[in-house]
Chain A
Amino acid sequence: MSRQLLVPLLDQVRFKREQLKDRLPTLPGTPLLFLSPFFLLFGVFLAIPVFYTFYLSFFTFQGVSTEALFAIDIGAYQIMIPEMANLQYVGLDNYRRLLTDSVFYQSLLNTAIIFVVQVPLMVALALGLALVLNAAYTRYKGIFRSLLLLPVSANTVAYSAVFIVIAAEGGIADIALGAVGISPIDWLSDGFWARNLVAFMSVWRWTGYNMIIILAGLQTISPSLYEAAEIGGATKIQKFRHITLPQLKPIMLFVFVTTTIGVFKKFAEPMIVISSGGPINETRTIVYYIWQVAFQNLELGYGSALTVALVAIIMTLSLIQFKVS
């Protein structure tokens, strides 16, 4: 009954809308209109900061002050552009400091060590799991896939907290090790193990994700390649080395590049480890250090310089990885 009333109403709405549409000219600039919100935000929040960081690295300052650079009073509103606190131009000083900053190098080293521990383990696991999931004999593939992918959705801070509790003194980890006859490890006080903990945490988080990607890659390999090898008498290992690995190269490259970028972004895991009393020197990743410098020591200029250096490093690493492929 109400539908009968509704329809003529909807028709009226439709007619009005059509009238309106005919009055609007089709701008040849339609695509630009579509793009403009994205590009506005992109330009302001992504493009400008990139250049801004570079610019800022030549200054020291302590953030935004409460004093106004200038204020505009429009009756009810007051727009205030705050000044930067203690802004001073220092030229290349920040970069000089960077070069002799032992903490910088240490944190780079930490990040690199985490990388070295995390990546092989994670890739090996992801590859192994993908191979098993791709094999014909595996049942309940869907369930395993879902379960293994689950860690990716875990909130980074929350899961780090969980791992802290597992790894802490008296936590599950120690019990498990004890069951196998190994004495408890001071995950949270020993520098070496704390770093490994961070690496293991990331392995937990990202293995499933990379496994899915590798699995997709495996499924694109034509079975006839394997059949031909089988007829030619190849063993499993030979098939793996000569067919699987080469075919997977582009996928593996992708995995490596994205993981590298991910490692250099690491903040949550080390932050939580340190917050729970972990050894700061050994677990401080580069991003953590930048955060410390910029937002705890309020040396944003130096932080900018560090950021620039880090970006340069990441770019270089990515380029190298591409060239090597």
Chain B
Amino acid sequence: MHEKLEKEALWQFGGYGFLVAVTMVMMFPIYWVVVASTLPQSAIFAGGAGELPRLIPGSNFLANAEALAARPEVDFYRSMLNSLVIAVVYTGLALLFCSMGGFALAKYDFKYKRTLFMGILGTLLLPTNLLVIPLFLLVSNMGLSNSYWAVILPWAAYPLGIFFMKQAMQSIPDSLLEAARMDGASEFQLYYRVVLPSMKSSLAALAVILFLFQWNLFLWPLVVLREGKYTIPVAISKIMSNDMIAYDQLMVASAMAIVPMFVVFILLQRHFVNGILGGAVKE
């Protein structure tokens, strides 16, 4: 009996220790980037004489930030604005289109519905990065190159989004819609006043997923955006395109890119989890 308890305790200790250790390792880069953003270039790496890089925050944050601002080809602060505007507009637009489409798929019957749905399902497995070449041509032909729309529109019809919305809306009882119709609602009022309000948590979940998706897009903006319109990922990559990389600026930029999102994400992560589980468990 004693042995069993001992063994059990060992498992628990090991498991918990494992959890703590992994978490600490995972959190380290985050800690590091915050610290590094406050250090001058020289303190980020160990010097030749075996000096250790400092692990405690320094006071160079502002200096680094200023140096960053002084690089016009990167235009980092502009890129932060760009990223934010693009992500917000994108999320709103995609949310609207996906929820409207999901509503139609969930609650109406019409010809070719099955085929359409299968078509969407098919693209779920497609990696977005691979459509870059034809998209580039299409977008250039439309004259949208180097504009916010170039980054927003192609992905507004996010297949996972409409799929997710359809699943979520199917759980609304038909009788609710019928009651609203009898109360005098037009179809659009149904959508706007009855369906959407009861989907708040699903909408929030999808919104987080969409926002993160757009925020992290790299290849596409790299291809299609030019100076002045860069998003954050592209701007950071431009910092690195010199022979001599200014690591202090790089760290400051990275910190500014990552940390605010972390804060927002911690607040919204409940919705994010709902979102991925909603889609995943269905599989």
Interface of B is mostly: helix
**A279 close to chain B: CB less than 8 A:** no
CB of A293, distance to nearest CB on chain B (Å) = 9
| CB nearest neighbor in A for B265 | A153
**A233 close to chain B: CB less than 8 A:** no
Q: Judge whether A165 and B36 touch: CB under 8 Å.
A: yes
| CB nearest neighbor in B for A53 | B134
Q: Judge whether A268 and B233 touch: CB under 8 Å.
A: yes
Docked complex: B86-121 residues within 8 A CB-CB of A: 96-98, 100-101, 103-105, 107-108, 110, 116, 119-120
**A177 close to chain B: CB less than 8 A:** no
Expressed in whole angstroms, the Cα–Cα distance for A158 and B231 within the complex equals 12
Which of A144, A158, A165, A172 has most B Cβ within 10 Å? Answer: A158
Q: Judge whether A46 and B123 touch: CB under 8 Å.
A: yes
Q: Which residues of B contact A34 (CB under 8 A)?
A: 100-101, 103-104, 108, 187, 191
Q: Judge whether B131 and A80 touch: CB under 8 Å.
A: no
Given contacts A170-B46, A295-B223, contact A150 B103 (CB under 8 A): no
Q: Which residues of B contact A166 (CB under 8 A)?
A: 29, 32
Q: Judge whether A41 and B97 touch: CB under 8 Å.
A: yes
Expressed in whole angstroms, the Cα–Cα distance for A163 and B254 within the complex equals 11
Given contacts A26-B187, A80-B143, A275-B240, contact A38 B26 (CB under 8 A): no
Of the candidates A171, A268, A304, the one whose C-beta lies within 8 Å of that of B134 is A304
Q: Judge whether A133 and B11 touch: CB under 8 Å.
A: no
Expressed in whole angstroms, the Cα–Cα distance for A55 and B261 within the complex equals 40
What per-residue 1/0 map shows which CB atoms of B145-183 lie under 8 Å from chain A? 000000001111101001000000000000000000000
Docked complex: A248-270 residues within 8 A CB-CB of B: 250-251, 253-254, 257, 261-262, 264-265, 267-268
| CB nearest neighbor in B for A301 | B133
Of the candidates A30, A131, A294, the one whose C-beta lies within 8 Å of that of B132 is A294
Q: Judge whether B129 and A287 touch: CB under 8 Å.
A: yes
**A175 close to chain B: CB less than 8 A:** yes
What per-residue 1/0 map shows which CB atoms of A31-52 lie under 8 Å from chain B? 1101101111110111111101
Task: Please choose the segment from A96-104, A189-197, A203-211 that sits at the chain B interface, where 4 or more of its residues have CB less than 8 A away.
Answer: A203-211
Of the candidates B45, B134, B283, the one whose C-beta lies within 8 Å of that of A52 is B134
Given contacts A53-B134, A148-B26, A170-B53, contact A158 B104 (CB under 8 A): no
**A155 close to chain B: CB less than 8 A:** yes
**A307 close to chain B: CB less than 8 A:** yes
**A168 close to chain B: CB less than 8 A:** yes
Q: Judge whether A137 and B12 touch: CB under 8 Å.
A: yes
Q: Which residues of A contact B123 (CB under 8 A)?
A: 42, 46-47, 50
| CB nearest neighbor in A for B283 | A254
**A138 close to chain B: CB less than 8 A:** yes
A-B contact pairs, 27 of them (CB 8 A): A34-B104, A37-B97, A41-B156, A45-B155, A46-B131, A47-B119, A56-B137, A132-B18, A133-B19, A137-B12, A147-B27, A148-B22, A150-B266, A151-B26, A154-B258, A158-B254, A165-B32, A204-B26, A250-B283, A287-B127, A287-B130, A290-B132, A291-B132, A303-B133, A304-B134, A307-B130, A315-B125
A-B contacts besides A64-B141, A209-B276, 11 pairs, CB < 8 Å:
A21-B189, A34-B104, A38-B97, A41-B154, A41-B156, A45-B154, A47-B119, A151-B26, A153-B272, A261-B125, A295-B223
